[in-house]
Amino acid sequence: LKNIQAEEMVEFDSGMKGMALNLEPDNVGVVVFGNDKVIKEGDVVKRTGAIVDVPVGEALLGRVVDALGNPIDGKGPIKAAKRSRVEVKAPGIIPRLGVREPMLTGVKAVDSLVPIGRGQRELIIGDRQTGKTAIAIDTIINQKRFN
């Protein structure tokens, strides 16, 4: 894969796609988007010349998509007006909007003790098997009720 770019889409013989990440003089590390068991040693990998991007916007609300933004919910194609690169630099602190409205998790203890604002990032720290994933999943599920 001569002259490959970082974050460039590659395609394997099987049709599986991936993204070039680790660029070294004699090899390229690729993140595979799908089942890596269909890829065998010696398979031909082709450059696509395109940086990985995905559809963005209102058309994705309520849809289930794979890692590349392709619909997997059986509701037909997604008609997104815009696409955005997967890896972009986050905006600095100045251009960001302030947190103005609360995001209710649906867990009363969290909502009252640790209020979270919509758009805010929150770190969940805890030992193994203490329910970190469970509380995150509950929060995601409860968003349907609040939004």
pLDDT in tens, 11-53: 999 899 999 999 998 899 999 998 889 898 889 999 999 999 9
pLDDT the model gives residue 75: 94
Q: Looking at the 3D structure of the chain, how many domains does it have?
A: 3
Amino acid at 118: R
> Same structural domain for residues 16 and 47?
yes
Whether residue 3 is predicted with pLDDT greater than 70 in this model: the reply is yes
In a domain? residue 126: yes
In a domain? residue 98: no
DSSP 41: T
**Which range marks the domain in which residue 66 is found?**
54-88
Whether residue 147 is predicted with pLDDT greater than 80 in this model: the reply is no
> Same structural domain for residues 58 and 81?
yes
Q: Please choose, from the candidates 132, 146, 144, 117, the residue with its C-alpha nearest in 3D space to the C-alpha of residue 62.
A: 144
Residue pair 45/8 in contact by the 8 Å Cβ criterion:
no
> Same structural domain for residues 15 and 46?
yes
At which residue do the structure tokens 């068991």 appear? 37
